[in-house]
Chains A and B, each alone.
Chain A
Amino acid sequence: MKKVFSRPKSLKKTPFHYCPGCGHSILHRLIGEVIDDLDLQERVIGVPPAGCAVLAYNYFDIDMGEASHGRAAALATGLKRAMPDRIVFTYQGDGDIAAIGTAETIHAAARGENITTIFVNNGVYGMTGGQMAPTSIPGQKTTTTPGGRKESRDGYPINLSEMLAVAKGSAYIERTAVNSPANILKTKKAIAKAFRVQMEGQGFSLVEVLSPCPTNWKMNSEESWKWIDEVMAIHFPPGVIKDITGDKKDAH
């Protein structure tokens, strides 16, 4: 009988510890599938962040080097410059990449570092218990914005992907979501393209993924999927933000 579905080779046989309805498990699987499809398991190095995905090395069966909070792009720069023929990716949450690691990320993109970043945007600090993130949207209730994010006090969310698109060294930036089967497929395609951009040496590539955090959003899974479409996507519209590759075969 033909096997049509199985665990990607690049994932270990460890059950995910993530909360029910969390997007990380889906994303881990998609990245594992892409690594398998592109036959990269033996030459890829991943850089997990501080945050919910800090234990990513327990799930990926690939070489991984842990970064401190926000420094993944700098660490990945060191790895990639030392081994230009390897494929290096970072996996970072919104607090990691768009608050404490903003400088490292913008400069990695500006230098055109030939690395790939998976940016998981769920609008909260998940691991620390649901505080306001740089990408929390106006009005969003978090443990540090109990009355909702108020622009006069808390400022506005940051659209990091659009900022990175301005950088001359970035080659491919796309925002997707993992809140429906169709969007999950789009996300996988975007991740595959981002890795291919790196394999072809075209420069910095990033996929921002709008990802549900039902636990900290105080919603059930269904509500969180809807919230991504109806609220989050208004502030962070999905789509290709930058593509200098001229490669249209992945367009969708």
Chain B
Amino acid sequence: MAKVLMRGNHVVAESAVRAGCRFYFGYPITPQNEIPEYMSERLSNLEGGTFIQAESEVASIHMVIGASMAGGRVMTSSSGPGISLKQEGISFLSALELPAVIVNMTRGGPGLGNIAPAQSDYFQATRGGGHGDYRNIVFGPNSCQELANLTYEAFDLADKYRTPIIMLGDGMLGQMMEPVELPPEIQLKKLPHKDWTLTGAKGRPSRFIRSLILDPTEEEEHNWKLMRKYEKITKEEVRWETFFTDDAKMIVVAFGIAARIAKGAIKRVREEGLKVGLFRPISLWPFPSKAIKDLTKRTKHFFVFEMNMGQMVEDVKLALEGSGEVHFYGRPGGVILTPLEISRVVSSYYYQKRLG
């Protein structure tokens, strides 16, 4: 199939529609406005398509819950401050075991912050984000092509596990244009039947979907049920990429757009003969802990680079369980680094550790 040149925000929207998303509820916030704008037109021209620009992020995530209860494939999107507002509904989606895809094109924070690309919402996304004991599947794509592929897949996974999925991008991924091969349109009729939806009690007993479970032992069992689901996801849905790790004396760990920048830096230092590789978690939850630990057979030196003050670095340390030395370099606030800057910091650390 021919490639098309598309902006990340349009890629995520078009890929969602091709994955069968017929319901989008959102609220404007930069730098993701192209998603609701695209969805407004695309879904209006599609049979069974629904687009609503809601009165708030809070309302939009609860519209998501309603359409998901009805069995629809449904998406919402936002950025930092708006994602904070959606957390109530994300906790409910998890508790109610409803599938949905939520896109966060992250911006600098905290507070209103700015509209520049940042990775400051890693904790919020990977730790659940709202109240209660739950996790979301979180993907951190680093290119428009990967954004297309993972968004497409996210709808199947959300349905399979009946759980919300967070697409954790950033302002750069949302705004940049790249050639993309779009996935084919699925046929809604061929999707597996959902036997839990609220469609009216016709020819079957009535159903209810609730998250209030007053009996603590029953609530505990619900928590364990979610836990068993999360364990299955942890076994089956871990994704990562390695780049020049086979002979690496030092490994850079970065996700999303930061990993893309780090790749450029690694190419530079490789030209100078430094044996540096990259480990890129693609699923941020479940985190590829075992794959990182396996790398300690090769080296003990890990260099974590993030566009924040240090969030994923905690997961790297947990994964290594003390078996490797972790150095962190971060630039928060929406600052975009160049591969040159990273290459300088990486090579300086490399020589400090007398690896070359």
Contact = CB atoms under 8 A, between A and B. Distances in A.
Interface of A: 41-45, 47, 50, 54-55, 57, 60-68, 71, 74-83, 86, 103-104, 106-107, 111
B194 to A, nearest CB: 12
Contacts of A62: 200-201, 206
A78 B70 contact: yes
Interface string B205-226: 0111111100000000000000
Contacts of B208: 57, 63-66
B209 A104 contact: no
Given A68-B89, A82-B50, A63 B64 contact: no
B200 A43 contact: yes
B271 to A, nearest CB: 53
B218 to A, nearest CB: 13
- Report which residue of A41, A67, A82 has the largest number of chain B beta carbons within 10 angstroms of its beta carbon: A82
B71 A82 contact: yes
Nearest to A12: B206
B70 A103 contact: no
B351 to A, nearest CB: 55
Nearest to B69: A65
Given A65-B66, A75-B66, A104 B202 contact: no
Contacts of B209: 64-66
A80 B56 CA distance: 19
A45 B23 contact: no
Nearest to B214: A55
- Report which residue of B59, B66, B74, B212 has the largest number of chain A beta carbons within 10 angstroms of its beta carbon: B66
B68 interface: yes
B67 A82 contact: yes
A104 B59 contact: yes
A86 B66 CA distance: 13
Given A68-B89, A86-B200, A63 B67 contact: no
Contacts of A54: 212
Contacts of B64: 78
A66 B210 contact: yes
B284 to A, nearest CB: 26
A210 B70 CA distance: 32
Contacts, number: 129
Given A64-B198, A68-B92, A77 B52 contact: yes
A141 B83 CA distance: 39
Interface of B: 23, 25, 50, 52, 54-56, 58-60, 62-72, 74, 88-89, 92, 96, 198-203, 206-212
A78 B206 CA distance: 20
A61 B52 CA distance: 31
A93 B167 CA distance: 36
21 contacts: A42-B201, A42-B203, A62-B200, A63-B208, A64-B209, A65-B66, A66-B208, A66-B211, A71-B59, A71-B62, A74-B66, A76-B66, A79-B66, A79-B198, A81-B52, A81-B66, A82-B23, A82-B67, A104-B58, A104-B59, A107-B54
Contact of A81 (B60, B67, B201): B67
A63 B211 contact: no
A83 B50 CA distance: 11
A42 B62 contact: no
A181 to B, nearest CB: 30
- The 4 A-B pairs with the shortest beta carbon distances in the complex, nearest first, are A78-B66, A82-B70, A57-B208, A74-B62
A42 B55 CA distance: 31
Given A104-B59, A111-B52, 17 more contacts: A45-B200, A63-B198, A64-B208, A65-B198, A66-B210, A67-B65, A74-B63, A77-B63, A78-B68, A78-B74, A79-B66, A79-B69, A80-B66, A82-B66, A83-B70, A83-B199, A106-B55
B24 to A, nearest CB: 11
A43 B58 CA distance: 27
A79 B67 contact: yes
B200 A66 contact: no
A71 B206 contact: no
Nearest to A50: B212
Contacts of B203: 42
Contacts of A107: 54-55, 59
Contacts of A81: 23, 50, 52, 63, 66-67
A74 B59 contact: yes
Nearest to A113: B52
Contacts of B54: 74, 107
A64 B201 CA distance: 10
A76 B59 CA distance: 11
Contacts of B25: 78
A67 B212 CA distance: 10
A83 B200 CA distance: 10
Contact of B201 (A61, A67, A76, A83): A61
Nearest to A55: B212
Contacts of B202: 42-43
Nearest to B197: A63
Nearest to B22: A82
B200 A63 contact: yes
B65 A78 contact: yes
Contacts of B66: 47, 65, 74-82
B23 A78 contact: yes
